Structure 1
Amino acid sequence: MITLNQKQEIILNFYREGKSQRAIAKETGVDRKTVSKYINAYQQARQKLIQSEDTTRIDQIDLITDLVEPPKYQVANREKRKLTEDMIDKIKYYLDENEVKKRNGQSKQQKKIIDIHQALLDEGFQISYPTVRNTVDALRKSGKEAFIRIDYAPGDVCEFDWGEVNIYIDGTLKTFQMAAFTSAYGNYRYAHLFPKQKTECFVESHVLFFEHIGGVYRTVVYDNMKVAIKKFVGLTEKEPTDALVKLSMYYGFSFRFCNIRSGNEKGHVEKSVEYIRRKAFCHVYHFDSLDAANEHLLSVCINLNQRPQIMANHMTALEQIAAEREFLLPAMPKYESARIETSRVDKYSTISIDTCHYSVPEFYVDKIVFTKVYSTHIRCFSEGEMIAEHKRCYGNQQWSIDIGHYCQIFKRKPGALAHSVALKQADIKWQRIYTKYYIKKEKSFIDLLIFHQECPLETIEKAILTLEKLTPTDITTEKIKVICQRSEPCQEVVQTVSSAIVEKSKEHLESYGALLPCSTEKFSTEEVIA
């Protein structure tokens, strides 16, 4: 079985570089039949996906998964050689570590050359002390690092980075992560705010960016972030996360990582993060919601991209991206950015995602459900059907409960309703209805909740307002149902209910009249009511 990176290399060489299968097999050392197998499977899945219209359906999600799945990355054993680049990088690392200690007042705890040599031996490197000493002497004599100016080709390189943003949402100060993209050729900037630096946020940021520009850059540059790098294999070799490899295979872009502590290797986006954050949020930092903050951020990016750039002969980034589009890789159908989880429903009829609990309908207790975890919400599925949707929680041990998921339980245990988390988290309109009309009438309130499954809350509220004008002290679920289910205009409903009230009043008067002493005069209920 080939590794996931080999599969990526095979597909990109064939799809982007136009190399023959024989040439790819020769270069990668993979059998030509295996090369042909993965290329044919990829082309078939890609063609089906491009022809499809809705990538949110379960079968289309499975098709996307098949396009980028698996195999797992495996690190091959490597023979050790004398004074390799890995050894030099490791020695540089220890020298940099000494500089940090010196600045922190730990100069007496620096590693001497003999300590560096021993550390290398402990890590399995085969190197002599004189070689280490000569290498350290050469590195210490070297001058400052020289930087090379690079002339980027259109549509070739784009850089990605995260930046922290602190803004007020609905009066509360919150911290968000800003995903920022900057093109190396035209300095085009794009940014979007997310609650956390999670894998699903990382993937969604790329989906939004590629959709925004209408194409895909051939290479994306990252620093050593956790959502992009699974682990380090030595000092310089890094194993990418499965999410990044799948994104690369799906959209057809390649990627590379900066060296450790070398932010200058992606200087465009390093400066862009600070620049966009300052321009967007130094004056305006109060918003009603995260969506409003993202709308503001997008408008700021658009304004920045419309400014003339001195280094580009006063052309704007917007003009530059327009010229780049013909060099970009073609756009693909929207990639499913959700993280997939499978969970067993617990006794509270909830599933646990990242320590937070989300409710599902009560009859799924002890069953396995399929969950798509997005950056701002989650969706739960069973047998291909969505059974629940919740706003994403990012705290610790938080509960998101939908009162509609527990109607049958409350019907058996109505006394549990008043102090339940489900009622406390219910829509404020439901809480008002319960408090005003249904205290100590929990069974009737539960019947109204069940009726809500086939009737909108707005219609129920209108029915309650109608009843308040007629019988403000006797509002019941049955009367609400009658009004909601009537097809006649509201005035006819009012007249019908008014007639019912008159008839009921007559019955009461006649019963009272029967209790009075006998009289020779005839008692008329019509006269009394009139």
Structure 2
Amino acid sequence: MIGVDKIQDIREMYRNGEPIARIARKVGVCEPTARKYAKMEDLSPEMPRKREPRHSSLEGFERFIDEMLEEDRRCWRKQRHTAVRILDRLRNEHGFKGSYSTVQRYVKEKREEMAAERDARGLAGFLALEWLPGECQVDFGEADFRVRGVVTRGKYLTVSFPHSNVGLTQVFWGETAECVCEGLANVFEFIGGVPGRAVFDNATGIGRRVGDEIRLSELFRLFCAHYGLSYSFTNPYSGNEKGNVENKVGTHRRNMFVPVPAFSDVEAFNRRLLEQSLSLSDGKPHWRKGTPELDLFEEDRAALSALAPQRFSCRRWETRKCSKQGTFTLGGIHRYCAGPAWAGKEVAVSLGAFHVEVFDPKTGDGIASYEREWGQAPTDSADPVLQLRLLCLRPGGWRDSVVRKSLPEELVAFLDAEPKESLSESLRTLRDESAEHGWKAAVEGMQRALGATGGLGRASVSLCAANAASGDARIDYGKDAPDLGMYDVAMGIQKGGAADAAVQL
């Protein structure tokens, strides 16, 4: 059927007395089609009807197609027959003379039939698997997180223990081997041991499946050797083999990530998240055994192997050659800066789950450190601190500087409105606090000072940056806490209190 617009044009031109041949040329259809719609009496919509399959030209060839599709079940999904390839084989191997559309329709119907059979087997029930204490399942979930005011789609690694139904979760921005190893190492240290076996979903994050073969990353193999971790992988289309962790992924999303959690430091958030995810099992009986989950989790813990003497360094090493500007790229789109001194030279790059560190390959000295960038959008992580010193001497370059692009919008708006002298002083404050407490804490301190005082006084920024760098930890003075009551008395006298000063003092 042609489009409604063309039908309207055909009928309008026909009513105006134009011949069918001219209408067909103008609209771009054949004459029989133009005649059909020009003279059609009823254009009312009809109930859609499913066409009965007609494969008369396929008689005798169906079994060959069925064999190819059955063979595909055992092959890697990217090396299965397409309808075009099936048609080629039928023609070359069996002398088939029919059309592509005939083969394509049959292949589509047969695949739907095979999928329905597979679903029916699934509905018939799965074998209940028994999990020993200390064994775990591992899988990734996806959720939104508000990071420094920006909603970001992230991943979270969930490790569940089917024996106790306890699950522990860690947030990451990718599903690489570095993220998997970092998450597992955090969980192992939290529970105080190494599980007897870890079951993964189809090599997610730690390798890739090619047909029946799973090719693991070198980092993950070293991680398992370091901790003595045994591992296995589920079979494709076998959800019952990892049902516990899949349920736990959904449970954690609903109970811990609704509403969208907000944080500025994902590593600090992860440390809190381990306790929070464990608390979900507090007072909860096991869904099948009836025993409290935390009691069963003690059996899981008792079955763990001892931790390695040292924590595994969950980072991958690469060598990168810097451009003429002293930058290099990771993943093809994420640009990092080693500094102008490294233009045209090679640097050693350490890739962790959250950080990218750059080193001198000869001496091992650190050159720069960045938060690792993720996603499909190109990024430029040139260290603003590298330009901050020069910018303090030449504040006229503020508008086009990397420093300006690296600051939050509210700080940029305030600094844009400052006169030149005040801008220079604010930049020097940022420089000094970055050297003292780090770039991240210095920026956080400036934001807090601006929100609290409406300005960027050096004393206010220094105090706020120190608090941010310390994680806002409160000082516990214990029994030696000073008595500040005398200050209250003094303030009462200074304000002209009615009591006699001698009596109060």
Rounded Cα–Cα distance in structure 2 between residues aligned with 1:179 and 1:108: 49
Change (3 A) 1:331 1:295: closer
Contact 2:325/2:339 (CA < 8 Å) preserved in 1?
A: no
Aligned to 1:482: none
Instruction: Please tell me the residue identity of whatever aligns with 1:113.
Output: R
Aligned to 2:448: none
Rounded Cα–Cα distance in structure 1 between residues aligned with 2:418 and 2:52: 68
Are residue 231 (structure 1) and residue 209 (structure 2) matched? Answer: yes
Aligned to 1:149: 128
Aligned to 1:397: 378
**SS of the counterpart of 1:390?**
strand
Instruction: Please tell me the residue identity of whatever aligns with 2:311.
Output: K
Within 5 Å, which residues of 2 pair with 1:188-267? 188-232=166-210, 234=211, 236-267=212-243
Are residue 285 (structure 1) and residue 245 (structure 2) matched? Answer: no
Per-residue deviation, 1:425: 2.4
Contact 1:401/1:425 (CA < 8 Å) preserved in 2?
A: no
Aligned to 2:110: none
Rounded Cα–Cα distance in structure 2 between residues aligned with 1:381 and 1:445: 31
Rounded Cα–Cα distance in structure 1 between residues aligned with 2:318 and 2:153: 26
Instruction: Please tell me the residue identity of whatever aligns with 1:147.
Output: F
Are residue 371 (structure 1) and residue 349 (structure 2) matched? Answer: yes
- Give CA-to-partner distance per residue, 1:357-378, whole Å, 9 cap, x none: 2223332222211121222222
**SS of the counterpart of 1:305?**
coil
Aligned to 1:317: 293
Aligned to 1:329: 305
Bigger CA drift: 374-383 or 284-293?
284-293
- Give CA-to-partner distance per residue, 1:52-102, whole Å, 9 cap, x none: xxxxxxxxxxxxxxxxxxxxxxxxxxxxxxxxxxxxxxxxxxxxxxxxxxx
- Give CA-to-partner distance per residue, 1:245-295, whole Å, 9 cap, x none: 22222211221111111111111111111112111123x324133537546
Rounded Cα–Cα distance in structure 2 between residues aligned with 1:280 and 1:447: 41
Bigger CA drift: 340-349 or 250-259?
340-349
Change (3 A) 1:338 1:440: same
Contact 2:286/2:292 (CA < 8 Å) preserved in 1?
A: no
- Give CA-to-partner distance per residue, 1:441-480, whole Å, 9 cap, x none: 98x999999888977799x99xxxxxxxxxxxxxxxxxxx
Bigger CA drift: 143-152 or 202-211?
143-152
* Residue in structure 2 matching 1:270, options 246, 249, 273: 246
Q: What is the TM-score with the length of structure 1 in the denominator? A: 0.54
Within 5 Å, which residues of 2 pair with 1:63-462? 112-118=62-68, 146-155=125-134, 157-232=135-210, 234=211, 236-282=212-258, 284-289=259-264, 291=266, 294=270, 297-311=273-287, 314-332=290-308, 333-354=310-331, 355-382=333-360, 383-395=363-375, 396-406=377-387, 416=397, 418-425=399-406, 436=418, 438=420
Percent of aligned positions that are identical? 22
Contact 1:381/1:388 (CA < 8 Å) preserved in 2?
A: yes
Rounded Cα–Cα distance in structure 2 between residues aligned with 1:390 and 1:411: 22
- Give CA-to-partner distance per residue, 1:19-69, whole Å, 9 cap, x none: xxxxxxxxxxxxxxxxxxxxxxxxxxxxxxxxxxxxxxxxxxxxxxxxxxx
Per-residue deviation, 1:170: 4.3
Rounded Cα–Cα distance in structure 1 between residues aligned with 2:52 and 2:337: 53
Rounded Cα–Cα distance in structure 1 between residues aligned with 2:180 and 2:52: 38
**SS of the counterpart of 2:280?**
helix
Rounded Cα–Cα distance in structure 2 between residues aligned with 1:300 and 1:451: 37
Contact 1:403/1:426 (CA < 8 Å) preserved in 2?
A: no
Bigger CA drift: 170-179 or 260-269?
170-179
Per-residue deviation, 1:159: 0.3
Task: Give the length in aligned residue pairs.
Answer: 343
Structure 1 unaligned segments of length 5 or more: list them. Answer: 1-103, 125-135, 462-530
Contact 1:438/1:445 (CA < 8 Å) preserved in 2?
A: no
Change (3 A) 1:435 1:171: closer
- Give CA-to-partner distance per residue, 1:475-526, whole Å, 9 cap, x none: xxxxxxxxxxxxxxxxxxxxxxxxxxxxxxxxxxxxxxxxxxxxxxxxxxxx
Rounded Cα–Cα distance in structure 2 between residues aligned with 1:446 and 1:285: 34
Change (3 A) 1:290 1:143: same
Per-residue deviation, 1:193: 1.2
**SS of the counterpart of 2:165?**
coil
Contact 2:129/2:241 (CA < 8 Å) preserved in 1?
A: no
Per-residue deviation, 1:173: 2.9
Structure 2 unaligned segments of length 5 or more: list them. Answer: 1-49, 80-112, 444-505
Q: What is the TM-score with the length of structure 2 in the denominator? A: 0.56
Contact 1:362/1:405 (CA < 8 Å) preserved in 2?
A: no
Rounded Cα–Cα distance in structure 1 between residues aligned with 2:243 and 2:323: 49
Change (3 A) 1:180 1:107: farther
Change (3 A) 1:106 1:224: farther
Per-residue deviation, 1:342: 1.7
Within 5 Å, which residues of 2 pair with 1:502-521? none
Per-residue deviation, 1:336: 0.9
Contact 1:222/1:228 (CA < 8 Å) preserved in 2?
A: no
**SS of the counterpart of 1:308?**
coil
Rounded Cα–Cα distance in structure 1 between residues aligned with 2:173 and 2:240: 27
Aligned to 2:11: none
Q: CA RMSD in A?
A: 4.6
Rounded Cα–Cα distance in structure 1 between residues aligned with 2:431 and 2:121: 77
- Give CA-to-partner distance per residue, 1:427-447, whole Å, 9 cap, x none: 8889977974646998x9999
Per-residue deviation, 1:353: 2.0
**SS of the counterpart of 1:204?**
helix
Contact 1:306/1:318 (CA < 8 Å) preserved in 2?
A: yes
Per-residue deviation, 1:334: 1.2
Contact 1:350/1:358 (CA < 8 Å) preserved in 2?
A: yes
